[in-house]
Structure 1
Amino acid sequence: MKLSFQDYISIKIHQTDLDLTSYIKSKLEPYNLAPEQNLVMMLLWEKDGLTQNQLAKALNKDKTNIARMISNLEGKGFLNRSKCPNDQRSMEIYLTSCGKELGNQVIPILENFNKVVCKGISKEELKEMERLLHLMNHNVSTII
């Protein structure tokens, strides 16, 4: 039996991603922060001083893309780069005071967003969804 457009799981996931991204984009816009840039900031709000390589690995992005985002965030005054004391070829990324203050404003928005998105979904259902998404990612990674 041939699948219809709405039967493809990839379409459902893509539409959900578009909806979630559109919503968070509107919430981050007043802070001059794009959703992808927000991911870098979230990692640094969690642990300041990560290297560009650590950020690239955590976000599954290429180093060029991460370097561009870091430059953009540095230009906005949210971050500073510093040579790694142990490895002069690596750069550590640190939040500026402005970047830390941004976290005080944005993190509550992100936490509320997470609460809204997960409303009516049990912890067990969230764990199962995470398991299924991980399995899908694994399935795709084996063919590319």
Structure 2
Amino acid sequence: MENSKQLQLENQICFPLYVIAKEITGLYRPFLDEIDITYPQYLVMMVLWENDGLAVSHIGEKLFLDSGTLTPLLKRLESKGIINRKRKKEDERVVEVFLTEAGKQLQQKACEIPGKIQNKIGVETEDLLQLKETIQKILSKIEK
């Protein structure tokens, strides 16, 4: 039973990461409700605001999502008139995603969200950047 301390919840790194991800995602909900998108849809939109016209596979790579998860999400965004999906002429197996004018305009409203989240969390920018850097180091080790 000497190793039982290793199994205590308070000694796990995964648990606080799980809880903080869940709680922070929850903080986004009221702000995203105002612009009528979900958190996963917001992630897709951020990728497209950065690089419009990406293939579905590239969006999936950036967000660590498979096409089975991404396709229904994209369909919902398309039904809202925020994006368009088009098959690439050179290779019809490739579906590219483009922002509509409404999708581009949504970016203006979304620009306020990161600041609102940081205000709600109440942590200094420097501390958040350090946390992000540490998490990215861990992720790079896991991805190898």
TM-score (norm 2): 0.83
Amino acid at match of 2:129: L
- Give unmatched runs, 5+ long, in structure 1: none
- Say how many residue pairs are matched: 140
Identical-pair percentage: 24
2:102 counterpart of 1:133: no
Deviation at 1:137, TM superposition (A): 3.1
Q: Which residue of 1 aligns with 2:72?
A: 68
Deviation per CA, 1:52-91: give whole Å up to 9, x if none.
Answer: 0110111111012111111010011100011223322111
Q: Which residue of 1 aligns with 2:42?
A: 38
Amino acid at match of 2:63: L
TM-score (norm 1): 0.83
Corresponding residue SS for 1:122: helix
Distance 1:138 1:105 in 2: 32
Q: Which residue of 2 aligns with 1:5?
A: 9
Amino acid at match of 2:87: K
RMSD: 2.3
- Give unmatched runs, 5+ long, in structure 2: none
Deviation per CA, 1:111-140: give whole Å up to 9, x if none.
Answer: 4425655732427x724x344323433555
